[in-house]
């Protein structure tokens, strides 16, 4: 018999937590970039040149994926906490990851 940590819904909850931590790590970088705008146009322009590189574009894809996964995970939790809904939870969790990946891919195709 498989343990609880191999259960799809446990993995969905873990993915939700990991995406939240990674988004929290991203925030200081985002605020640093916003702070450059206060320093002046030259500082911001220098940073914006760096953001036009391929690694940053790939990271943006990851960021959109994390945002979509975290949103879907949060919606899943809201449904679990507020409705009597048990059937289809695994399907919803798998669909949430799939939709998140599609959203990130569409964003990535537009950026790259």
Domains of the chain (ranges plus CATH)? 8-111 (1.20.1300.10)
Q: Is the pLDDT of residue 106 over 80?
A: yes
Lowest mean pLDDT among 6-20, 30-44, 62-76, 83-97: 83-97
Query: For residues 93 and 90, what is the distance between their CA atoms, to the nearest angstrom?
Result: 5
List, for residues 28-71, the tens digit of each pLDDT value. 988 888 888 888 888 888 888 888 888 888 888 888 888 888 88
pLDDT band at 111 (very low <50, low <70, confident <90, very high): low
């Amino acid at each position: 018999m498989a343990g609880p940590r191999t259960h799809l819904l446990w993995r969905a909850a873990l993915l939700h937590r990991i995406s939240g931590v990674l988004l929290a790590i991203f925030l200081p970088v985002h605020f640093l970039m916003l702070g450059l705008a206060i320093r002046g146009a030259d500082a911001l322009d220098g940073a914006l040149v760096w953001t036009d590189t391929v690694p940053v574009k790939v990271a943006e894809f990851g960021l959109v994926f994390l945002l979509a996964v975290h949103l879907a995970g949060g919606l899943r939790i809201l449904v679990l906490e507020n409705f009597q809904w048990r059937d289809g939870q695994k399907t919803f969790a798998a669909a949430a990851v799939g939709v998140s990946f599609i959203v990130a891919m569409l964003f990535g195709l537009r950026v790259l």
